[in-house]
Amino acid sequence: MHLGIDFSFLLKPIFARGFSGSLYLVLLLLLFVLWVVRRIEGGSSEEAKERFRRRRVVWYKQTLFCCLGVSVFNIALCLLSYFYWYRNGWSGDKLVTLSDFVLKTLAWAAISVYLHNHFSDSGEQKFPLLLRVWWGFYLSISCYCLVIDIVLHKKHISLPSQYLVSDVFSVITGFFLCYVGFLNRNEGKDMILEEPLLDGDYSVSGVESNKSRGVDSVTPFSNAGIFSILSFSWMGSLIALGNKKTLDLEDVPQLDSLDSVAGAFPHFRNKLESVGGVGSGVTTFKLVKALFLSVWKEILLTAMLALAYTVASYVGPYLIETFVQYLNGQREFKNEGYVLVTTFFVAKLVECQAQRHWFFRLQKIGIKIRAVLVAMIYNKGLTLSCQSRQSHTSGEIINFMTVDAERIGNFCWYLHDPWMVILQVALALLILYKNLGLASVAAFISTIIVMLANFPLGRLQEKFQEKLMESKDKRMKATSEILRNMRILKLQAWEMKFLSRIIELRSFETGWLKKFVYTSAMTSFVFWVAPTFVSVATFGSCMLLGIPLESGKILSALATFRILQEPIYNLPDTISMIVQTKVSLDRIASFLCLDDLKPDVIERLPRGSSDTAIEIIDGNFSWDLSTPSVTLKDINLKVHHGMRVAVCGTVGSGKSSLLSCILGEIPKISGTLKLCGTKAYVAQSPWIQSGKIEENILFGKEMDRERYEMVLEACSLKKDLEILSFGDQTVIGERGINLSGGQKQRVQIARALYQDADIYLFDDPFSAVDAHTGSHLLKEVLLSMLSSKTVIFVTHQVEFLPAADLILVMKDGKITQAGKYNDILSSGTDFMELVGAHKKALSALDSVETGSLSAGVSLNEEGGVSSTIGNMQKEENNDVQNGKTADIVGPKEQLVQEEEREKGRVGFSVYWNYITTAYGGALVPVILLAQIFFQVLQIGSNYWMAWATPVSEDVKPLVEASTLIMVYVALAILSSFCVFARAMLLNTAGYKTATLLFNKMHHCIFRAPMSFFDATPSGRILNRASTDQSTVDLNIPNQVGALAFSMIQLLGIIAVMSQAAWQVFFVFIPVIATSVWYQQYYISSARELVRLIGVCKAPVIQNFSETISGATTIRSFDEEPRFREKNMKLSDSFSRPVFHAAGAIEWLCFRLNMLSSITFAFSLVFLISIPPGVIDAGIAGLAVTYGLNLNMLQAMVIWNLCNLENKIISVERIIQYSSIPSEPPLVIETNRPAHSWPSHGKIDIHDLQVRYAPHMPLVLRGLTCTFPGGLKTGIVGRTGSGKSTLIQTLFRIVEPAAGQIIIDGVNISSIGLHDLRSKLSIIPQDPTMFEGTVRSNLDPLEEYTDDQIWEALDKCQLGEEVRKKEGKLDSTVSENGENWSMGQRQLVCLGRVLLKKSKVLVLDEATASVDTATDNLIQQTLRQHFSDCTVLTIAHRITSVLDSDMVLLLNHGLIEEYDSPARLLENKSSSFAQLVAEYTTRSNSSFDH
């Protein structure tokens, strides 16, 4: 039955759109109600959030992305429709459709928010019912609308194209959402699959219990999908994490195995071998070839991306003229405007994608190359021969690693620039030829002129750069040596002299730096002026050739010049970078060519294949093959398994060299050397790694608790470990700084014992320990644990000799006697001398025991008093031991703390500090004004060209051609002047700031107390003095400038674009707001990543410098593979934050580029929507010309901002070390001691308490005693009893916690440090020599005449040795005095003291490294020249103390006994008497053999 109802309205689009809009409105209301209810009920539980983080609904991300996509799609349609209909008139249909689009945009955005909140708040595993019902509705409505479109199309009724596009899109997304909502099983799955970054085990409370997240997880980049890679979304999880918490190294994932050193290095080494770069055959070319072959795929990919970027960047300039003609009303075909906009937009997208991935992948290559080179340099450092090692100081070798490898890695940025310059110039000329015909030749010639102008500048820059590097090497070498020996410098009051030496080296360096930065300023001037110069030449020739200038053509040319500016601008950078990289490659290649240790020196026999452990037949060895002198001559030696061989001889006779030759360290001239079995070596000067004591002893071996305990017992380390707060877990500072000399040696011996080797080589380690410990070591180590092993030990202690099966006596590099103790005693003079000296010392001991020493009587009274003090203190001591004062100190802390890194934002104060350092910041406003004027003049000149030229040929020009060019040239000259002023002033300010910061930091470091150096590994200080200082010298001024200039340019572009179409301004506001939000979101992660880079760099350097100094020990234990692996691990720890910081910056730039591309597209759509004639086509074209640069500049501003924040961290780190609390003043003018002070040298100590740091226990616990003036006092005690601490307090290296020391009535704490230290003399435990000459070592302050120096040398038995040398007093001393033996170095220290002639002299185990004969000589010299001085002697050789007037025996920081030796020996129960008895029994037993 027909009811007469007309259903045709159902097929009308207005009904469909209206119905759809109403449903969206209802949905929005529902979502709003739900949101209000949730707010009233209260927020989400933490537990739900945690569940959501752990388990996430399958397809959750894709669904969220789809909903956001629908919202964005609808806003785009809404805007397009608005502009289209705004121009062509409105109707009811159109208004309803527009409302529908608006409601859709809002509703889908609300759905996205609801979806996110629903899961994060409730932790549910399914999509909410409301959404699934809605998705059903959405699909139905979309299908319904699409059916209407098709029906109407069939009926040939025309519809706006927006309808069809919208409906097709809606149907596709509807199907996807319904599939996800209804058909897909929505069980949650572990996030582990989704986001590898957040795996970690979660405890119930949601706190991660797994510390090693980053350590276990590999970077998401390695298995990211195509979309994730394109948009850098794989970085999202790390950036999000960085927003929630301060990132630590554990949070940063591992590199992919192909990018890590472990994966890349073997590949590189194979390539290097395949091109023939093995051993000394490495040339720069072969090195480059191997590097290229190991990363050629990545290089090819980046080349393709660079090509795509270059071509896409020229689409804009090519189309501008067409666009201006279109705006002027010349239409080629229908919808031409939309085609142009689409082409512009797509070209921008391609440009943006290609550039981002090109940059990121280049950095990836750079990271890989740097890591591979560092590994190569490190491995080379492990195998260098001694002679090669001496030709390069450790500072220089570290520079190869920190500076050169880094620079070659950075060169990757410039890899494609050389060929891209050619391509870009060619494309630019094509566009110019199309627009301006023959005038393009002028453009080409002027471009070539500008490029040529760079070459002399580039050449100069290269020269200055090289000189700068050389002078920096020298400075770093001196700095590292000074830091190593800071204790000596402070003891001698020399630190300010050495600081002035560093400042002098730096001023030499800044001379080159100044030339370098001013040349850079000239280069930057040439570049900013380049486009102006090229355009003046081109437009001038157009005028001369009569080529008509139209605004479209001019704008196209201007856009081309601007793009051309980039290759011209980068060319000098590229040239200087190529040059710098070549210098670095040459340096590394020449280092890799150095001679290694010859593997054929030793003939290794299989273990157990021979009964001979070591055999040398007719061996001649020399450290330096280029000189005729031979170090070891005619060595013949045969050692069977299980033999104990002692090596003795006077100072410099070749004992240590003999051990080095057995280790294969000395080049062999002739003869054979056979070795059977594994070896362990204990060096003369201890080499201790920074790390735990346990790690030092295990040295890479598995822990075997039983053996470990046995070794500790044998080396009597148990007691020492009980004293240390953390036992064997105590972290040792750099070079074992918080252990005493004896403890270091015993840790070394323990390391060797634990290895359980077949052959043991000991280079006089027993000299650094006291008598008691010495005899314990002899018994437990040599005679017990090593009884079945082959042992060769160098010793100066004659009492150790009888324990040997074979004794070798050495003199002048030859073995003069060999045999058993008694056999050789009667057969030669050399050995007799040594033993005679020892017997002489012992006879002194006997005379003391018989009481014939007068001092015993004369000091009777004073001695008696002192003894009672001793006894009182003994009782106190027991109290302390019974635990009455156990809680003296608060929480325990390790000496070496983790390196501080600032957290959170870089404070504004750092920027302010930097800007106002030079001239109080007076130059800053001038520089900014110069840049603003430059920008205004640039825009003005382009505006003038666009306004004054006609849009097309048929329009009459507004001004004459000559006027046009004249005005343009005038503006160009003014802008050039502004640029020149800006470049010069910027570099002046930067240079001045760098100099001031350097001086301030170094002054602070040199004035820092010794505790700072003990707790700070030198790697940290060197890192600031080299890497951070380099950044401040060369990068930061340009970075600060670049940020200010790009911001000024961006404001200029916004002004120009808004001038053409002010409506664009409304798009700028949200876009800039979003950009700033992104930047804020990103910076917290980026900042911490950069700080981590700074913190992770120091361990690589420190490990390297430790390895170089301990290379002999590492090789002797055959531990090279483990150290190589450790270096690779540290290198990867450094590469991880570098890689992710690179990913983070691209993540940000990609998003910013997208935003600015959308802004640009929006402004183009707006321009084509305006009816012709409303706006000047030339000015609109100018807006587009500037708009082409928008995305680049917007990204540049943010990139410069982030980069500056990253770089300014170097300033922050330097400022951090410019505010170290300093020592007390060096001189207190109001309280200077008399010139003759101290005249008697009487030292009173009252209740002295000392601790090394506020968080550490007391080392001296209340000492009270008097050292009479002019007498000799011996200080003895077990290792760690506080002997060295007492001396350090006397020199105020450590300030007393309580009590005081008074010398001749002056409280030493009340006078200046230099006044105190320059009046006291010391021969320290570790004899130190500095690189330089003999003269500069004895008299660095240049206070004495040559005659006085010769006299001192003769007194200390070195005169003859120095006269033999070519340069006499000017003969060279290499780094650490390595070309002098340990004993000779000790004699040089004696020489310094003889020159100084102080009233108070301290000998801190001064004769530990010399033989007894030399020791007697030194003692005699001291007796002779210091008879009326107060001499304090810390000694392990009892004989050194015996002829003292008084003996002080310390135990656990308290005085146990203090009296004359004679009185102490009378009392047989005294600790001192027991020590002496032990020593004499040990010695006498040795003579009974």
Task: Count Cα atoms within 13 angstroms, Cβ side, for 1437.
Answer: 30
Q: Specify the residue for token string 């640029």.
A: 979
82, 1225, 1227, 1314 from 1230: Cα distances, Å: 85, 12, 9, 14
Position with higher pLDDT, 350 vs 1181: 350
User: Is the Cα torsion angle 780, 785, 787, 789 positive or negative in sign?
Assistant: negative
Tell me the two tokens of residue 1211: 């300033």
Q: Does the structure show a pLDDT above 80 at 59?
A: no
Q: Is the pLDDT of residue 86 over 50?
A: yes
Under 8 Å between Cβ of 795 and 783? no
Average pLDDT over residues 1332-1342: 81
Rounded CA separation 363/255 (Å): 14
Q: Give yes or no for a contact between 499 and 977, defined as CB atoms under 8 angstroms apart.
A: no
- pLDDT one-digit tens code per residue, 946-995: 777 776 666 676 777 778 788 888 888 888 888 888 888 888 888 888 88
pLDDT value at 410 more than 50 = yes
Above 80 in pLDDT, residue 913? yes
Chain-centroid distance of CA 1185 in Å reads 43
Residue type, 454: N
Mean pLDDT to the nearest integer, 1248-1275: 84
Q: Which amino acid is at 1039?
A: Q
Q: What is the DSSP letter of 1234?
A: P
Residue located via tokens 């820092």: 1008
pLDDT at 279 over 70: no
pTM for this entry:
0.67
Per-residue pLDDT reduced to its tens digit, 698-751: 888 888 888 888 888 888 888 778 777 777 888 876 666 677 777 888 888 888
Q: Is it the case that residue 882 has pLDDT exceeding 60?
A: no
Q: What is the mean pLDDT of residues 1135-1146?
A: 89
Residues 6+ apart with CB under 8 A from 40: none
β pairing state of 1258-1267 and 1400-1404: unpaired
Higher model confidence: residue 274 or residue 53?
274
Structure letter (DSSP) for residue 778: I
AA letter at 1277? G
* pLDDT at 205 (0 to 100): 35
Stretch among 41-50, 68-77, 305-314, 975-984 having the lowest mean pLDDT: 41-50
Q: What's the pLDDT tens digit per position in 223-239? A: 877 888 888 888 888 88
Interatomic CA distance for residues 1481 and 642, integer angstroms: 26
Q: Angle, to 10 degrees, between the axis of helix 1382-1396 and the axis of helix 1412-1425?
A: 0
Neighbouring CB atoms inside 10 A of 535's CB total 24
Cβ burial of 1378 (10 Å; 0-12, 13-18, 19+) is: middle
Long-range contacts of 5-9 (CB under 8 A, 24+ apart): none
CA distance 623 to 630: 8
Please say whether the beta carbons of 242 and 214 come within 8 A.
Answer: no
Q: With bands split at pLDDT 50, 70 and 90, how would you rate the model's confidence at 304?
A: very high
Q: Is the pLDDT assigned to residue 855 strictly greater than 50? A: no
Predicted confidence band of residue 612 (pLDDT cuts 50, 70, 90) = confident
Q: CB neighbours of 554 closer than 8 A, spacing ≥ 6? A: 539, 945, 946, 949
**In terms of pLDDT, which residue wins out, 767 or 176?**
176
Could you tell me the sign of the dihedral formed by the alpha carbons of 839, 841, 843, 845, in that order?
A: negative
pLDDT of the residue at 92: 67
CA atoms within 13 A on the CB side of 1139: 28
pLDDT at 848 over 60: no
Q: Is the pLDDT of residue 215 over 80?
A: no
Longest dimension (CA), the chain: 148
Residue 1101: CB partners within 8 Å, gap ≥ 6? 398, 401, 402, 1019, 1022, 1023
Q: Quote the DSSP letter at residue 783.
A: I
User: Six-digit token pair at 1482?
Assistant: 């040990």
- Could you tell me how many helices (H) and strands (E) the chain has, helices first? 54, 26
Tokens encoding 420: 């891209």
- In three-state secondary structure terms, 1207 is helix
- Please list, in sequence order, all residues whose beta carbon lies within 8 angstroms of the beta carbon of residue 1480, skipping any fewer than 6 positions away: 842, 845
88 falls in which pLDDT band (50, 70, 90)?
low
Pairing of strands 668-676, 603-605: parallel
Condensed to tens digits (0 to 9), the pLDDT of residues 638-686 reads 888 888 888 888 777 888 888 888 888 888 888 888 888 888 888 888 8
Residue 515 in contact with residue 1364, Cβ under 8 Å? no
- Could you please report the per-residue DSSP string of 1293-1354? SS--SEEEEEETTEEGGGS-HHHHHTTEEEE-SS----SEEHHHHH-TT--S-HHHHHHHHH
CB 650 within 8 A of CB 794: no
Q: Residue 1437 — pLDDT band, cuts 50, 70, 90? A: low
Q: Taking all residues of the chain, what is their mean pLDDT, rounded to a whole number?
A: 78
**Which secondary structure element, helix H or strand E, spans residue 1222, and what is its range?**
none
Amino acid at 502: I
Task: Select from 1239, 1242, 1240 the least CA-distant residue to 1268.
Answer: 1242
Q: Name residue, tokens 């972290």.
A: 731
Decide: helix, strand or coil at residue 278.
coil
What percent of the residues of the chain are helix, what percent strand, and what percent coil, each to the nearest 5? 65, 10, 25
